[in-house]
Amino acid sequence: MKILADQNMPLVEQYFADLGQVERFDGRALQSDQLVDVDVLLTRSVTQVNETLLSKANKLKFVGTATIGVDHIDTDLLTQRGIAFTSAPGCNAIAVAEYVLSSIFALAQENASTVLGKTIGIVGVGSIGSCLREKLAALDVNVLLCDPPKHEAGLLPEHCDFDELLAQSDIVTFHVPLIKTGKHTTLHLLDKARLLSLKSGTTLINASRGDVIDNQALLEVMQAGAKLDLVIDVWENEPFILSELLDYVRLSSVHIAGHTLEGKARGTQMLYQTLCQIEGLTADKSLADFLPKPCITQVSLEDTFTLADLGQLLHLVYDVRRDDGIMRRHLAQHGFDSLRKNYPIRREFSTVSIAGSGHYAALLAALGFNILDNGQTGDC
C-alpha cells in the first residue's frame, strides 16, 4: 500500500512501515495530485478532506484523522465513494484536560487566588469534557455541565442551560465540536451579546475550535474594557489569526492543547489498529514499544505538602506558560504553523510516579499521576 501521512503525525513510520510505503505531506498544502495511486490517507485537523482534494484519488480505500473532531472531513463523500473512515475519539482527551488544569492553576498563582471553591462550567461533555469532569471531581470545586444534545438523548440529566452556566461560572471552558448548521450550532456560540453578559473576572478557556468564540467580538469587548481572563489555544482563521487579540489574552498557544507526546501517539495508534482490522491483520504494536522515557519519572512529597502546593506539582510536568512565551516571542518571526510543527515535547501526568502522597493519594491518582505504595520506588 501507498500511505500518505501528515508531517506532524508522530510514529507513523514505526506503526505503518510494515503495511506499505509511507510518504509525508504538509497538512495545509496537500493537493489532489498527491493522492494519485494512494491507498491510505492519514490526516490531522488542518487538512480539508473534500471533493476537490479527492478528485484524483483513484485508489483511496481508507482515510483516518488522528483527531477527535471531524469537521474537516466530508464523511458523506467518503461513504458515497466506499472509502473507509475513522477518527481518534478520546486520543488527546487527557492532554487537553491537563492543559486546562495547568491553565487554571497558573492563573490562580498569578492572581494570588485559589482554584478551590470556584465554579467551573464545562461546555461540551464528550471525550474531553468528560475526562476534565472526572479530574475536577477530585478537587473542591463546583462543576456545571452543558451539552444540549447529550441532555436531549437522556445522557446528561445534570445539564445546565448555557446562559445559566455563563452567569454562574467563574471559569468557562469549551470542549465542543464546530457545528455550523442545525439545531445545536456552535459557530460563534459565544457571541458579542453573551460576551457582554459575563461577570467581571470570568476566565474563558477555548481549547476546542477557534470559531466557537467570535474573535472579532471578543477583541472589541476587551478593547472596551472588559475584565476577563482569556486562555486561548484555538483561534479563528488559523493560521492567520487576529493578532491584535493576543494583547488581551492571559495565556495563549498555537492549537496545541492536545499535543502531548502520548496524545498524538494515541491518535496514530488508533488509526493503525483500525486499518489492521480492515485489512484482517494483527495489530501487534503499542505505545510502550516507541515512547521514550521521560526526563522526570518520580517525585517524592514531604508531609508539608498541601493542596496549596498542587499547582507546583502540576507545573513540574507541564506549565502552559512555556507555550504562552513561545507564541508571544516567536509568532511574528516563525508563524503559527511553524510553531505547531516544532512544538516541544510535552508529557502527561501519568509519566510521573508520586511517592509520599499520603492522604492526597486518591486526589493525585484522579488527576492522572501514578501513585507509589509506601516503600515502593520507581525505576528511575
Question: Hey, which residues are catalytic here?
Answer: 209, 238, 255
Cell numbers of 79, please?
461513504
Which has the closest alpha carbon to 62: 281, 272, 283? Answer: 272
Eight-class DSSP state of 345: P
Dihedral (Cα; 174, 101, 322, 344), 10-degree rounding: -80
Contact 345, 322 (CB under 8 A): no
Helix (H, G, I), strand (E, B) or coil at 371: strand
Name the 3-class secondary structure at 52: coil
Cα–Cα distance between 59 and 56 in angstroms, integer? Answer: 9
Helix (H, G, I), strand (E, B) or coil at 61: coil
For 161-195, give the DSSP string.
-HHHHHHH-SEEEE------SSTT--TTSB-HHHH
Q: Which has the closest alpha carbon to 249: 265, 262, 233?
A: 233
AA letter at 146: C
Hey, what amino acid is at 65? T
141 is written with which cell numbers?
A: 470545586
